[in-house]
């Protein structure tokens, strides 16, 4: 546990009850945010969050914490902009310092064609409520003086898009702030409690089987990150999800401030600075689907080389840590949220490499669905039916490097 959790956050642990109104499987950001919003916005507190390890131990505690809404389709822009706005108020709302820092989000462009496409995207962003503007090379250089605009002679930068409201927040603090907010209103959080099966009666789910025995539930929601295929399989569902590892690393302390989140659309990496001054670098998913949490030299070498091309100062720093999470990737790079063909069984998944930024809005919307039984308009486009109805929400802008 870190200092914040030890000194500040107080969670109460309970014996599991035999039955709850709502059982949420997975104590990551999305599961806990749903529990938090059920309790705070709808007064629904007979809720259990079941986590097989420890809360935040999945992708919600492994990500690079980028928050932005510069997406490529109207449905996603509106959805993520709502989350950008909710994140900005989350500290005040939870009375916990989640280290939310508005830094701005840059996407570097390395060809005329990329500039044209990004300009169209930024206009779409403006039209649907997200503030994304285009920057010239000179404006970019004044924001990031360290940048080599010639890209080592091979990857010249032609321009960039910039979203000033782009932000970061400390991931474990987000998880614990939401857990505490739910828990103090009566939600039970059970760690080391794995769901091993679902209780099914005819066409409907009536509860879960755990390593501590069965628990009945009015509604069961799956929020299990990269392990969703196994969980959905328990309900007899086959999802259009493939799980891929995603790696990231941090360097030692860089003595200057680097106050922006910067991604390169061609070199496919992104970089920011942590509150401790470390440079935090991420890239694309590993191509091979896998559940392996191993991180490797190949990723480190290729990612570091690309990052140094644009930011030569990185070559003077040392790598401190490297890690991996397992990402639930959809074919259209959009989430799957809502009801499933199995009664009383809901899912929030397909969060891939982009779901940290969606934690507040994802939980808010799923809680509204559970409380009212009606799918809110904001998440209707992300329902699982879209695959059957040929209504994919294709948006490569979900991955930070596109």
**Site track for ligand FAD across 231-250, x = CB under 6 A:** x--------------x-x--
Nearest to 151 by CA among 252, 264, 14: 264
Q: Cα 385 to the chain's mean position, in Å?
A: 22
Output the furthest CA–CA distance in the chain (Å, rounded).
65
> How far apart, in whole angstroms, are the C-alpha atoms of residue 269 and residue 219?
40
Q: Is 52 in the site for ligand FAD (CB under 6 A)?
A: yes
Residues 6 or more apart whose CB falls under 8 angstroms from that of 106 comprise 135, 140, 143, 144, 160, 161, 162, 260, 261, 262, 263
> Closest approach of Cβ 189 to ligand FAD, in Å?
11
The region of 98-106, 142-150, 155-163, 346-354 touching ligand FAD under the rule CB under 6 A is 346-354
The region of 94-102, 148-156, 220-228, 289-297 touching ligand FAD under the rule CB under 6 A is 220-228
Select 352 or 381, whichever has its Cβ closest to ligand FAD. Answer: 352
DSSP type of residue 162: E
Q: Which residue is nearest to ligand FAD (CB)?
A: 28
Select 59 or 70, whichever has its Cβ closest to ligand FAD. Answer: 59
Select 63 or 122, whichever has its Cβ closest to ligand FAD. Answer: 63
Q: Is 25 in the site for ligand FAD (CB under 6 A)?
A: yes
Residues 6 or more apart whose CB falls under 8 angstroms from that of 266 comprise 108, 109, 110, 111, 114, 155
Q: Is 338 in the site for ligand FAD (CB under 6 A)?
A: no
> Closest approach of Cβ 116 to ligand FAD, in Å?
26
Q: Is 59 in the site for ligand FAD (CB under 6 A)?
A: yes
- List helix spans (H) across 275-358: 297-310
Select 125 or 353, whichever has its Cβ closest to ligand FAD. Answer: 353
Element spanning 284, H or E: strand 278-285
> Closest approach of Cβ 367 to ligand FAD, in Å?
14
Candidates 22, 28, 79, 162; binder of ligand FAD (CB under 6 A) is: 28
Q: Is 207 in the site for ligand FAD (CB under 6 A)?
A: no
Candidates 357, 364, 379, 395; binder of ligand FAD (CB under 6 A) is: 357
> How far apart, in whole angstroms, are the C-alpha atoms of residue 216 and residue 202?
15
User: What are the CA-CA distances from residue 129 to residues 18, 19, 155, 314 (Å)?
Assistant: 45, 42, 32, 35
Residue 15, classified by CB atoms within 10 Å of its CB into exposed (0-12), middle (13-18) or buried (19+), is exposed
**Site track for ligand FAD across 65-104, x = CB under 6 A:** xx--------------------------------------
The region of 23-31, 95-103, 339-347, 372-380 touching ligand FAD under the rule CB under 6 A is 23-31
Q: What is the DSSP string of 23-92?
A: EEE--SHHHHHHHHHHHHHH----EEEE-SS-TT-SGGGTS--EE----SSHHHHHHHHHHHHHHHHHHH
> Closest approach of Cβ 309 to ligand FAD, in Å?
21
Taking the CA atoms of residue 224, residue 229, residue 235 and residue 238 in that order, the dihedral angle to the nearest 10 degrees is 140
Binding site for ligand FAD (CB under 6 A): 25-31, 50-53, 57-60, 62-66, 194-195, 223-225, 227, 231, 246, 248, 282, 325, 327, 351-357
């Amino acid at each position: 546990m870190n200092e914040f959790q030890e000194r500040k956050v107080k969670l109460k642990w309970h014996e599991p009850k035999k039955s709850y109104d709502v059982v949420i499987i997975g104590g990551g950001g999305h599961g806990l945010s749903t529990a938090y919003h059920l309790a705070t916005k709808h007064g629904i507190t007979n809720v259990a969050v079941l986590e097989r390890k420890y809360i935040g131990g999945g992708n919600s505690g492994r990500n690079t914490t980028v928050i932005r809404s510069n997406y490529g389709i109207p449905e996603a822009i509106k959805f993520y902009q709502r989350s950008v706005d909710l994140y900005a108020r989350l500290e005040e709302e939870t009375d916990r310092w989640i280290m939310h820092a508005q830094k701005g989000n840059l996407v570097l462009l390395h060809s005329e064609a990329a500039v044209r496409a990004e300009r169209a995207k930024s206009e779409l962003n403006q039209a649907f409520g997200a503030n994304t503007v285009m920057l010239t090379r000179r404006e970019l250089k004044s924001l990031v003086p360290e940048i080599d605009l010639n890209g080592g002679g091979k990857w010249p930068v032609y321009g960039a898009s910039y979203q000033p409201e782009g932000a970061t927040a400390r991931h474990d603090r987000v998880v614990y702030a939401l857990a505490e907010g739910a828990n103090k209103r009566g939600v039970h959080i059970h760690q080391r409690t794995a769901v091993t099966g679902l209780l099914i009666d005819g066409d409907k789910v009536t509860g879960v089987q755990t390593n501590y025995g069965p628990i009945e539930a009015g509604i069961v929601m799956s929020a299990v990150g990269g392990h969703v295929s196994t969980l959905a399989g328990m309900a007899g569902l086959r999802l259009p999800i493939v799980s891929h590892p995603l790696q990231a690393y941090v360097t030692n302390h860089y003595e200057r401030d680097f106050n922006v989140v910067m991604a390169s659309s061609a070199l496919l990496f992104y970089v920011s600075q942590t509150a401790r001054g470390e440079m935090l670098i991420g890239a694309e998913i590993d191509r091979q689907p896998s559940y392996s949490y191993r991180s490797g030299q190949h990723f480190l070498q290729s990612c570091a080389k690309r990052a140094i091309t644009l930011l030569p100062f990185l070559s003077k720093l040392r790598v401190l840590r490297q890690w991996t999470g397992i990402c639930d990737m959809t074919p259209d790079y959009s989430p799957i949220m809502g009801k499933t063909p199995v009664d009383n069984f809901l899912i929030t998944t397909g969060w891939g490499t982009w779901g940290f930024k969606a934690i507040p809005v994802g939980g808010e919307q799923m809680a509204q669905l559970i409380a009212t039984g009606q799918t809110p308009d904001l998440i209707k486009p992300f329902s699982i039916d879209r695959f059957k109805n040929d209504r994919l929400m294709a948006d490569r802008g979900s991955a930070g490097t596109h």
